[in-house]
Amino acid sequence: MSRETQKDLTNLIAFINDYKLSHLLPHDLFKAFISQQHKKYFSYLTFIADLQNFINDSSFNSLINEKQFSFIKESCSDVGIAFFSTFHGSYKSSKLLLRSSIETFLKGYCLDELPNIDTETSMFALFANVKALNTFQTEPSKKIINLIHQKYKLLCADVHTATNLNMANISALNYFPTYDNSDAQKISSFCLSLIPCYLTLMCLKYNNQYHRFHYKNKEIIIKSIPKEYRPAIHNIE
C-alpha cells in the first residue's frame, strides 16, 4: 500500500470514528422531515407485522403465500433503508431504494395473478401486465396504480441521471452527514405518496385479514391511508 493510500485510509478510519448525526437534531426542519416519513414507514411496518400471521391461511379468499409476502416485506425493507439513508443526506440512494420498493411491491402484490412476474426484467412490460389485470380496471385501484407508475417514472430519472438536477456530484465522504431541506422534501413527497398507495391496495386486497388485525394496529395503518379510500376499506357504501 502506497504512503498516500495509507494516509487516506487513516483519515477514513478517523472519519468513521467521529461520525455522528446528533448535530442535525436541533434543526426543526430535520426533525419535522423525519417525523413525516416515520409515520408512514411505521404504518407499513405495522401492516407487514400483522399480515405475517396470515401467510398461507386458506380460510381467506385472498390468500397470501410465503413468496408473495417475501416480496412485500422486501418492499418495506427498501423503504426502511431509504428512510435510514435520508438521515445522512444520501438522497439519491434513497430515491433508488424507493424505486426498488415499487418493483418488489408490485411483484409481491400481483404474483398470485401473474405467476411469472418475479422473473420479469422489463419494467415497461411489468407495468403493462399489471395494469391489464382486472384488479386495476376499477377505482380506486386504477387511480392508485397510475400514481405509482407516475412516481416510478420520476424516480427513474435519478437511476439514469437524466439531467444535472438528478446528479449528486458528491466527491468526498466528509460531505455526510448533511441535511438539505429542498432535497429532503423531494424524498418526503415520494414517501408520502407511495406508502399510502401500498397500504391502500393491501387493505383492499387483504381486507378480511386487515379486519383481523389488532385494533391498535388498524388505527396506526388507517391514519396513513387517504380519507377518500377509507370507506372502501371499512366496507362502507
CB neighbour class for 49 (10 Å; exposed up to 12, middle 13-18, buried from 19) = middle
Q: Please, which residues have CB within 8 angstroms of residue 83's CB and are 6 or more apart in sequence?
A: 37, 38, 41, 94, 191
End-to-end CA distance of the chain: 71
Distance CA(3)–CA(21), nearest Å, equals 31
Query: Using an 8 Å Cβ cutoff, are 200 and 229 in contact?
Result: yes
Residue 11: inside a domain: no
Residue 9: inside a domain: no
Query: Using an 8 Å Cβ cutoff, are 197 and 149 in contact?
Result: no
Cell of 169: 456530484
Residue 205: inside a domain: yes
Residue 146: inside a domain: yes
Residue 81: inside a domain: yes
- pLDDT given for residue 145 in this prediction: 98
Cell of 96: 433508488
Distance CA(84)–CA(146), nearest Å, equals 27
- pLDDT given for residue 211 in this prediction: 97
Residue 18: inside a domain: no
Residue 224: inside a domain: yes
Residue 16: inside a domain: no
pLDDT digits 0-9 by tens, 172-230: 556 667 888 888 889 999 999 999 999 999 999 999 999 999 999 999 999 999 999 99
SS3 5: helix
Q: Which residues of the chain have pLDDT under 70?
A: 1, 158-176, 237
- pLDDT given for residue 165 in this prediction: 47
- pLDDT given for residue 174 in this prediction: 62
- The amino acid that residue 126 corresponds to is L
Query: Using an 8 Å Cβ cutoff, are 195 and 43 in contact?
Result: yes
Q: What b-and-e string marks burial along 162-175, b requiring 16 or more CB atoms within 10 Å of the CB?
A: eeeebeeeeeeeee
Q: How many domains does the chain have?
A: 1
Domain residues for the domain of 137 are: 27-233
Q: Is the dihedral of CA 144, 146, 150, 152 positive or negative?
A: positive
- pLDDT given for residue 159 in this prediction: 64
